[in-house]
Amino acid sequence: MSDTRMTDEVFDALVVGSGPAGSIAALILVRGGARVALVDKATFPRDKACGDLVGPRGVQLLQDLSVDVPDSHRVSDMVVVGPTGNRVRLPAPPGRTYPGYGIVVERKLFDATLQRAAIADGAEFIAGRADEPIVHEGRLAGFSISTASGSPRRVHAGAIVGADGATSRVAEAADLVDQARVLWGFALRTYLDQPVELPHIMFWTPQRAKAFPGYGWVFPAGDGRANVGLGVGVLADRSAARRVAHDLDAFIAHASKVGVLDRDGRRLPDRSLGAWLKMGIVGTTPARDRVFLVGDAAGLVNPLQGEGIAQAMDSGRAAANAILDGGNRNTDRYRAHLARSQGRYLATTASLQRALLRRPRIVAGLTRTITAPGVGSTLAGGWSIMWNNLLDGASPGVSTEVARIATGLGYSLTARSSDRRWISEQL
């Protein structure tokens, strides 16, 4: 019979979720001398629906923290494929503050590496689920943890980091999400037994002149495999995600038709996996009363192309540094960091995403135009910097100026959007 006696413990910080955002937060906290409880309901290594691509900013952060990721593969340029198969190669030049490449590594390996690093440096790992919130003087102060061993634990902490994904229990318990406003998306990923050299993002029009409401990807996965998936934007209607499972096979057929994949690519068994995406911060308050949301829990997914790992790790680092700084205004410092690093970009792109998802015919025409021969190649350098949110820290040059102009134009066009107002109020 299991021992069900409840124990009470006090930590400097409780980190719920040990994906990239949570593990980086825990790593920095323990390196700063904090006593940290790192909680996750999953047994690692565990798989995750993702494109498995870590962008240049993420690579730089790993280097800054001296975290080595084995079994990773460098990738540089990205290819954007239009609805008719036209290709635009987006260059990946190094910036002043980041390298000119990303890395590809399976999430089950990547996440386990970061979790091990945090535990090795001193984080106390608790295998279990954060269930009942502990409230003290009107604020969230901890959780009752249902542990894998069956012995519940009550964990109190001076600061709480919610790194538990798009459907965050921490965000719910701290009342930091307005579900009706969230920009929801859903992604479904599988692996194919065939090699791909460069990452591909694909625009698709499964119905004539009507764009798919999201994006497709075909990324290299190492060992002669391709990571293939679809991400669909559903706004606040999460029931619309049901279409993705049906559409994935049709998308794979389309990718084969336009020559991105071979027609004889075999889907690897038991490797299809889906996940919710929460994009652009919209609907989420990222921090309040010493509760910090990071990564997917905060909605820090790029609304235009789905990147989230680099943003997750950066937010984990920023939240940890704010906690270590101490004082009554550490949540303000965290929000200020998000405002500097992502606020302007997300205010623009979240607003654009909402508008474009409602106009599939306009999107179909726009994606054909920007990937047309001559047009895409002219825009490629600036497009790469702007689309991947690499303007801050980019090296001087024509492409950087094009990205700056495009970013400014987008910011002006979205000046009156409700999403822009929400983000400005939260940051």
Res 271 pLDDT > 80 = no
The pair of three-digit structure tokens given for residue 147, joined into one six-digit string: 């542990």
- Of the candidates 216, 224, 171, the one whose C-alpha atom is nearest the C-alpha of residue 195 is 224
Question: Sign of torsion, CA 359 309 218 407?
Answer: positive
Q: What is the pLDDT of residue 5?
A: 58
pLDDT digits (tens, 9 = 90+) for 240-265: 778 888 899 999 999 999 999 987 76
pLDDT digits (tens, 9 = 90+) for 219-231: 999 888 999 999 9
Rounded to whole angstroms, the Cα distance separating 258 from 85 reads: 5
| Structure confidence at residue 272 as a pLDDT band (50, 70, 90) | confident
pLDDT digits (tens, 9 = 90+) for 381-405: 999 999 999 999 999 999 999 999 9
Rounded to whole angstroms, the Cα distance separating 427 from 419 reads: 12
Res 202 pLDDT > 70 = yes
Which residues lie closer than 8 Å to 351 by C-beta, 6 or more apart?
414, 417, 419, 420
Q: Where are the domains of the chain?
A: 7-73+98-181+282-347, 183-277+349-418
3-state secondary structure the chain: CCCCCCEEEEEEEEEECCCHHHHHHHHHHHHCCCCEEEEECCCCCCCCCCCCEECHHHHHHHHHCCCCCCCCEEECCEEEECCCCCEEEECCCCCCCCCCCEEECCHHHHHHHHHHHHHHCCCEEEEEEEEEEEEECCEEEEEEEEECCCCCEEEEEEEEEECCCCCCHHHHHCCCECCCCCEEEEEEEEEECCCCCCCEEECCCCECCECCCEEEEEEEEECCEEEEEEEEEEECCHHHHHHHHHHHHHHHHHHHHCCCCCCCCCECCCCCEEEEEEECCCCECCEECCEEECHHHHCCECCCCCCCHHHHHHHHHHHHHHHHHCCCCHHHHHHHHHHHHHHHHHHHHHHHHHHHHCCHHHHHHHHHHHCCCCHHHHHHHHHHHHHCCCCCCCCCCHHHHHHHHHHHHHHHHCCCCHHHHHHHHHC
Q: What is the pLDDT of residue 269?
A: 62
Contact 186, 277 (CB under 8 A): yes
Lowest mean pLDDT among 159-163, 179-183, 270-274, 396-400: 270-274
| Structure confidence at residue 408 as a pLDDT band (50, 70, 90) | very high
Contact 46, 68 (CB under 8 A): no
CATH 3.40.50.300 for domain 7-73+98-181+282-347: no
Q: What is the pLDDT of residue 222?
A: 84
**45 cis-preceded (ω within 30 degrees of 0):** yes
pLDDT digits (tens, 9 = 90+) for 336-345: 999 999 999 9
Q: What mean pLDDT comes out for the span 177-199?
A: 92
Q: Who has greater pLDDT, 214 or 266? A: 214
Q: What mean pLDDT comes out for the span 13-35?
A: 98
Q: What mean pLDDT comes out for the span 31-36?
A: 98
Q: What is the pLDDT of residue 6?
A: 64
pLDDT digits (tens, 9 = 90+) for 46-103: 999 899 999 999 999 999 999 999 989 999 999 999 999 999 999 999 999 999 999 9
Rounded to whole angstroms, the Cα distance separating 412 from 427 reads: 19
Region of residue 21 (phi > 0: left; psi between -120 and 50: alpha; otherwise: beta):
alpha
Q: What is the pTM for the complete model shown? A: 0.94
